[in-house]
Amino acid sequence: MHVAGKTNPIPLTHRFGRRFVQLQLGLIAYGLSMAMLIRARLGLDPWDVFHQGVARRTGLSFGTVVIITGAAVLLLWLPLRQRPGLGTVSNVVVIGLAADLALRLLPDAEGWWLRGALVVGGILLNAFATALYIGAGMGPGPRDGLMTGLAGRFPRLSLRLARTGVEVTVLAVGWLLGGAVGVATVLYALGIGPLTQLFLPWLSVPRPAPDPAPVPA
């Protein structure tokens, strides 16, 4: 569509619709990947070790704990002056619901080959899902926003150090509460960053460019 010499091949409404659908698909896939790792029974990522530990202590469903934790972490954004987006709010709700639904459908894996396949598939799907919802560009998840907010609030605290500190803390607390730590925890820590970076360039939705400043006659 040509308007006053500009080219805008993708209408903004269509672009928003694509980003919204990609966001929701990414969050649903993320919840499924969490359920796959739980059913493999070979360990979880740090935050899910915490979620599972709390669920075992309280009797709440895993997905319910994910939602409550996400909402609580979102409250911590206030002193950090972080602003949530549509993707942030969706993250709080959709992932937990998707995880609980997937856990109802997936039985515990029997046999090492199936458990190993669930771990590999769960980590790959988790990275793909992360790239999907990040690539939609509609706001970070509450846990990611917490780490970037801490790094921004405290200049001496790098993002890597903030992430490491937060994840080690929730991992330790989750383990003490009874969450599962194992080989999948190590594989996740080693693989999730590079795999997400691999998928992200393919799944990032182009943003609309700002209109150029008018040229004086």
Contact criterion met (CB below 8 Å) for 20 and 88? no
pLDDT bracket for residue 14 (50, 70, 90) = low
- Give the per-residue pLDDT at 161: 87
Whether residue 96 is predicted with pLDDT greater than 60 in this model: the reply is: yes
- Give the per-residue pLDDT at 105: 96
Q: Could you report the per-residue pLDDT of 109-123, keeping only the tens digit for each?
A: 999 999 999 999 999
Whether residue 57 is predicted with pLDDT greater than 50 in this model: the reply is: yes
Q: Could you report the per-residue pLDDT of 126-177, keeping only the tens digit for each?
A: 999 999 999 999 988 999 888 888 878 887 878 788 888 999 999 999 999 9
Instruction: Give the residue-averaged pLDDT of 7-34.
Output: 83
- Among the listed residues 150, 166, 16, 36, the one whose alpha carbon sits nearest the alpha carbon of residue 86: 16
Using CB atoms within 10 A of its CB, is residue 44 exposed (0-12), middle (13-18) or buried (19+)?
buried
* Other C-beta atoms lying within 10 Å of the C-beta of residue 199: 18
Q: What is the Cα–Cα distance from 97 to 217, expressed in whole angstroms?
A: 57
Say what the pTM is.
Answer: 0.86
Q: Which two tokens stand for residue 217?
A: 């006659």
